Amino acid sequence: MYATLVLDQIWKIRNKAIFENATFSLEATMERLKTRFEETRNLANKKSVEVSAFSPSRSEWRNPPSQCIRINTDAAVKGGATTFFREVASAAESGWDFSTRWMRNRARFTTMATTSILPVDLNAFILGMELDIASLAEAVADYNTSTKYFEASRVREEAMRSVFWNAEMGQWLHYWLMNSACKEVEKWQAQNQNQEAFASNFVPLWIKSFYSDSFLVDKVMKSLKNSGLLCAAGVATSLTNSGEQWDFPNGWAPLQHMLVEGLARTGSTEAKLLAKDIAIRWIRTNYVAYKKTRTMHEKYNVEKIGDFGGGGEYEPQTGFGWSNGVVLTFLEDFGWPKDLTIDCCDA
Catalytically annotated residues: 97, 298
CA distance 333 to 260: 10
DSSP 234-295: EE-SBS---SSTTSTTEEEHHHHHHHHHHHHHSS-HHHHHHHHHHHHHHHHHHHHHHHHHSS
CA distance 104 to 107: 9
Q: What is the CA radius of gyration of the chain?
A: 22
**Which distant-in-sequence residues (6+ apart) come within 8 Å of 112 by Cβ?**
84, 87, 88, 91, 98, 102, 103
**Which distant-in-sequence residues (6+ apart) come within 8 Å of 257 by Cβ?**
322, 326, 329, 330
Write 152-160 long-range contacts (CB < 8 A, 24+). Answer: 153/127, 153/209, 156/123, 156/126, 156/127, 156/130, 157/127, 157/209, 159/53, 159/123, 160/120, 160/123, 160/124, 160/127, 160/204
**Which distant-in-sequence residues (6+ apart) come within 8 Å of 86 by Cβ?**
58, 59, 60, 61, 115
CB-based contact 279:261 (threshold 8 Å)? no
CB-based contact 297:253 (threshold 8 Å)? no
Question: Angle CA(260)–CA(11)–CA(316) in degrees, nearest 5?
Answer: 55
